[in-house]
Chains A and B, each alone.
Chain A
């Protein structure tokens, strides 16, 4: 990061190249990204990515916060799909503490995670369309992101930075309105998604702008440690949900879509198909929830699960546990654990070292946006500027996750 040293070239008057500062606040980059490009006309000769504009030292803060206070930090990583981050963090701690989660909670969590995956993919795919000039599709599908946020609001009270769930389960059960809203969403969204696809999938202009742009080979993608839809677009079927199932994903029947060439069009198609698969998973999860005993929304672990306020005020035991948890007097094993979930952009990993204190000794986030973005400047070489913009949209780099 070099924000107080603007990057200039040698300013050679003989040079034919032009230095272009793309960002940090360029409307086409959808976030705080700076790339200093050397331009030969409209073609990029070389580029340097400068990141860190919204670095908030989450890893340092996390060393000073008890486990349950770290959840709001994870919200602010990939804020387009915060629930996945929240759940990933809860599951990391649950793995550390060896907590067995009831099946019903697992299924409810799967519903939340798949809804947020859909909202994440809606953002990415509609923005690709927007950047190629198709504003209609953007406005049309984007309203369903709003409907997903309404569901989150019903479940946890928040919309964007959700802080959803607790260590050991969820903070409250889904109410009837939440289920009704999910069912309504499942009825309406496929119709809109089908229309969205019919507007773009065989659209000549869209294909011309995206197919063949920013092709990536499988070797390069693996070499740069890419994960998520970007890696799958190159044809490698790596999905954490399948390779290391968490939260009972092994109980679900779904497919992992892959592309062939890794270009922008393939990434778009992979994300679209993942939305269809997410719908399938949510439908199955709703059925499975019905077969489980009603009313269970957390594991029976009073040492770690914060009791409800009503209980705390009326029940002495709950009050004691409340204070024990808030004062951080929990006995967590001295151990280290790595847990990964499939985030919107790829493998979101939590590396947690606990030394028995109130707070983690060390917590590291493996942030897919950060790792995926490291190839961007290299990829842009030789590309047209307008292609580089679409490439960035299709990589779905989220500034919060990039800079942590």
Chain B
């Protein structure tokens, strides 16, 4: 199969989803765009099942917290092994209402990736079969990768985060 180019992929997606895709860019050649949480499963399904591009491999799911914008971005990395091309999809969620449909309906591999994302960012994946903490202990009351939580014990005066780069 000839390698599909980023332009072809974005044309194909734009044809099907139009205004639902935005912020298209290509940092270091990796096609990146955003979509909404209502459309994300449709977009992922389309990418997975379209015979022309077949992004049938889920590389990774993670999240990024942007406290100034009060947003959490859930980031999906997909890979088309046949075409040898990767794609990155972002969904920006309101940090106070971080809910998004689960991708476990498409890939079983999403199960633990979503649990990890929930554990560290508190993103609720609706419809996930077993959305529990995975690496942290169950008693933890916070989602530690959110930016408001410091790395070091906040009560210590000798270990301030600004001494460590932030």
Residues of A within 8 A of B (CB): 1-5, 51-52, 55, 57, 59-61, 63-66, 95-96, 220, 222-226, 236, 238, 243-244, 328, 335-338, 340, 347, 349, 351, 353, 357-359, 361-362, 364, 366, 370-371, 373-375, 378, 403-404
Shortest beta-carbon distance from A368 to chain B in Å: 11
Shortest beta-carbon distance from A24 to chain B in Å: 13
Residues of B within 8 A of A (CB): 27-28, 30, 32, 56-60, 62, 64-65, 75, 77, 81, 84, 86, 88, 107-113, 116, 120, 133-139, 144-145, 151, 161, 164-166
In contact, B133 and A335 (Cβ under 8 angstroms) = no
Measured CB to CB, the nearest residue on chain B to A347 is B59
In contact, B59 and A366 (Cβ under 8 angstroms) = yes
In contact, A60 and B151 (Cβ under 8 angstroms) = yes
In contact, B135 and A351 (Cβ under 8 angstroms) = no
Answer whether A225 and B165 are a contact pair too, CB < 8 Å, given A64-B151, A338-B30.
no
Answer whether A1 and B138 are a contact pair too, CB < 8 Å, given A60-B145, A371-B112.
yes
Answer whether A52 and B60 are a contact pair too, CB < 8 Å, given A64-B161, A66-B165, A244-B84.
no
Chain B hits for A236, CB < 8 A: 81
In contact, A59 and B166 (Cβ under 8 angstroms) = no
User: In this complex, which of A60, A220, A347, A364 has the most chain B Cβ atoms within 10 angstroms of its Cβ?
Assistant: A364
Q: A-B pairs with CB below 8 Å: how many?
A: 116
Q: How far is the CA of A63 from the CA of B151 in the complex (A)?
A: 9
Measured CB to CB, the nearest residue on chain B to A362 is B64
In contact, B27 and A336 (Cβ under 8 angstroms) = yes
Chain A hits for B116, CB < 8 A: 370
Shortest beta-carbon distance from B6 to chain A in Å: 14
In contact, B77 and A223 (Cβ under 8 angstroms) = no
Chain A hits for B60, CB < 8 A: 349, 351, 364, 366
> 10 tightest CB-CB pairs across the interface, nearest first?
A225-B109, A52-B135, A359-B165, A374-B112, A64-B164, A55-B135, A358-B165, A364-B62, A224-B109, A366-B60
Chain A hits for B62, CB < 8 A: 351, 364
Shortest beta-carbon distance from B10 to chain A in Å: 18
Given contacts A224-B108, A236-B81, A338-B77, 6 further A-B contacts (CB under 8 A): A57-B151, A64-B164, A96-B28, A223-B108, A351-B77, A359-B164
Shortest beta-carbon distance from A22 to chain B in Å: 18
User: In this complex, which of A4, A224, A353 has the most chain B Cβ atoms within 10 angstroms of its Cβ?
Assistant: A224
Chain A hits for B108, CB < 8 A: 220, 223-224, 374-375, 378
Q: How far is the CA of A404 from the CA of B145 in the complex (A)?
A: 13
- A-B contacts, 23 of them at CB < 8 A, read A1-B134, A1-B135, A4-B138, A52-B136, A55-B135, A55-B136, A59-B145, A64-B151, A64-B161, A64-B164, A220-B108, A222-B56, A225-B59, A225-B109, A225-B110, A243-B84, A337-B30, A338-B77, A349-B77, A351-B60, A357-B165, A374-B111, A374-B112
When the two chains form the complex, which single residue of A61, A244, A337, A353 contacts B151, counting CB atoms closer than 8 Å?
A61
In contact, A95 and B28 (Cβ under 8 angstroms) = yes
Q: How far is the CA of A362 from the CA of B57 in the complex (A)?
A: 23
Shortest beta-carbon distance from B68 to chain A in Å: 11
Answer whether A65 and B64 are a contact pair too, CB < 8 Å, given A1-B133, A349-B77.
no
Measured CB to CB, the nearest residue on chain A to B88 is A338
Answer whether A1 and B136 are a contact pair too, CB < 8 Å, given A60-B144, A351-B77, A366-B60.
yes
Measured CB to CB, the nearest residue on chain B to A48 is B130
